[in-house]
Structure 1
């Protein structure tokens, strides 16, 4: 899109943001709904993250409103599609701030989170991301928070698994330039652990799905140096398509995927080509925690599909914001409330924010695709 202002918000945007925070703090006598934004890619190649997140947020907010809302005020969700485009992400966040949201759920990808964080900082409006994991957003005193761990945990888990359990020693890697802050950070962490054990990534190929180059061409380049394994760092759709083309050339080569590709969409689109593929998982799909089981049942009944990690983490992000709104004191920024509360109950266990709005989670696992299902192997 052209003509989108990339500069910092105007004076009037700052005024509107201040007014929205003030309105949120008026107390129990206010009757206006409390507005929360939701920003994610709900169309295109990353839509599985966005739609699962959107639907989970809707369920949580509906339950809150049925129970009386926050101090008698209903929660109103305002949905925006960032289309996995930094300019559009900035535009829709600008619109949400102007509309008076007190907080934002999202974005779901690292590149979009990097794009909008300066706007959040200027307007002093917090965003709690379910799934943006790049370490470029770690350790900063800003208005970006997240309920997921960083790429380090998940990439390191994958590398260690393949060091101890696989035959991959000389591998090739391919990643998506449309989310480069995540992909490059993920590969860097993977390579650090992998090469430390005397193994190596002998070639790296990057791509953009909208470019003229075909996935078959990419597969040919990947397999040209005769690797003994392939690591794909991409969304589920592109991961599935790459697996299909790689299998046309070499039906037996081991393939492993980053956590970004580990959604049900991979199984739907990949078919036989993803059988035997390993993925790093960020949630326990078989968790028996009653809270998770209740959410899973409700989600399946409503949407007739699994929430996956995007739905689980969006549930947690939404609950963090609602809990903070209940506890917020007059004159206190919502970000300050979240960090002062520090600990929240997630669907699969507690999450504890540090001073910079990051959390640590130690629930990474490795699954293999068998009979169109994710089967945990470690």
Structure 2
């Protein structure tokens, strides 16, 4: 009996020692974004992309002989929640982060990630200052920054719409105000008159005061800076009050929810977004994987997030390490075959080699125009 007890005790000690070792043996990748709240339609597709890429690589045996573990944190795209989410990811000992997805939370989280010496790759945070001038050397993104988006939308406004007077309506956030400001700078240099530069409160129910100003100044084009929920309300109320002016927005407007919310009112709305790469085999694979796993078409930012996860895991594989310096070197050196095309990162950490196009809402769909640029 004594020998049996001794053997059981030894076995229990063995289990208690091996369990943490097994848990530590996974490669943890953090995913931070809006997984609930008003902007969940932006964050959930990115989380879905991470799940799919990780499941696929684990099915092949993982990376470096280790399984990959997803660790997610919800910041609802709110800077005040982002620092707590980032802190939890750091305490969970992730080796890199995919996200955050919004510019405000990204700006709030980066000092914490940098103190912990963690690389983060955002699929959708576009504020230029996040990568320019080397302010955040451990931050990269798989989406065009607002400077690139503004160059494209301003070019369209000048050369295709031939606008002389432009009104700017934005949500006063880093992303929205930044996009509006960048367009204003370029367009004013091109001789376009600014007739209104107005901030709205995204959660407001009634945008009538702003719409009355728009009717009074009679712009040729309205540049909107912000996300889909505010854009949807603004367009609906504009059309209700017979303001038919074309609205031009950033990638946050090109969302299926915008089309569903606005219906026929969306007709003619323009937005920048990654170039259509649906003919690529990698795109088809990523799309089919989402439909199989979740029973629906992928949403906003899904393919950018898929590409970000691919880049992180390829860096682990090619560097043979989870060391941050080695991962960063691999990320800057490698080209990755993604659903968006062959992705690389420039010296600032911005995506290079990918296309960016203007899309127009027509017949309940966003249709790609031939107005586009290649990111460098």
Which band: TM-score by shorter chain? 0.7 to 0.9
- Secondary structure in structure 2 of the residue aligned to 1:375: strand
Question: Which contiguous aligned blocks of 4+ residues in structure 1 show a shift greater than 6 angstroms?
Answer: none
Q: Is the 8 Å Cα contact of residues 86 and 112 (structure 1) preserved in structure 2?
A: yes
Q: Is the 8 Å Cα contact of residues 41 and 300 (structure 2) preserved in structure 1?
A: no
1:32 pairs with 2:25? yes
Match of 1:89 in 2: 82
Q: Please give the alpha-carbon distance, in whole angstroms, between the structure 1 residues aligned to 2:224 and 2:115.
A: 36
Task: String of CA shifts for 1:182-221, please: whole Å, max 9, x gaps.
Answer: 223322321233223321221111122235x622333223
In structure 1, stretches of 5+ residues that fail to align are 1-25
1:206 pairs with 2:199? yes
Give the CA deviation at 1:280: 1.6
Match of 2:113 in 1: 120
Match of 1:171 in 2: 166
1:183 pairs with 2:207? no
Give the CA deviation at 1:36: 1.0
Match of 2:301 in 1: 310
With over 3 angstroms needed to count, the CA separation of the structure-2 counterparts of 1:277 and 1:191, relative to structure 1, is same
With over 3 angstroms needed to count, the CA separation of the structure-2 counterparts of 1:331 and 1:70, relative to structure 1, is closer
> After the TM superposition, which residues 238-317 of structure 1 pair with which residues of structure 2 at under 5 Å, given as runs?
238-284=230-276, 287-317=278-308
Match of 1:156 in 2: 151
- Pick one of 354, 367, 372 that aligns with 1:375: 367
- Pick one of 330, 335, 341 that aligns with 2:333: 341
With over 3 angstroms needed to count, the CA separation of the structure-2 counterparts of 1:251 and 1:184, relative to structure 1, is closer
Give the CA deviation at 1:101: 0.8
With over 3 angstroms needed to count, the CA separation of the structure-2 counterparts of 1:331 and 1:360, relative to structure 1, is closer
Give the CA deviation at 1:230: 1.3
TM-score by length of 1: 0.85
CA RMSD of aligned residues (A): 2.2
Range that drifts further, 215-224 or 309-318: 215-224
- Secondary structure in structure 1 of the residue aligned to 2:350: coil
- Secondary structure in structure 2 of the residue aligned to 1:367: strand
In structure 2, stretches of 5+ residues that fail to align are 1-20, 371-376
With over 3 angstroms needed to count, the CA separation of the structure-2 counterparts of 1:171 and 1:356, relative to structure 1, is closer
TM-score by length of 2: 0.86
Q: Is the 8 Å Cα contact of residues 343 and 354 (structure 2) preserved in structure 1?
A: no
Q: Please give the alpha-carbon distance, in whole angstroms, between the structure 2 residues aligned to 1:188 and 1:92.
A: 29
Give the CA deviation at 1:41: 1.1
User: How many residue pairs are counted as aligned between the two chains?
Assistant: 347
1:227 pairs with 2:222? no
Give the CA deviation at 1:156: 1.1
Give the CA deviation at 1:359: 2.2
Q: Is the 8 Å Cα contact of residues 209 and 238 (structure 1) preserved in structure 2?
A: yes
Give the CA deviation at 1:330: 5.3
Give the CA deviation at 1:229: 2.2
Give the CA deviation at 1:239: 0.8
Q: Is the 8 Å Cα contact of residues 358 and 368 (structure 2) preserved in structure 1?
A: yes
Q: Please give the alpha-carbon distance, in whole angstroms, between the structure 1 residues aligned to 2:44 and 2:83.
A: 19
Give the CA deviation at 1:338: 3.2
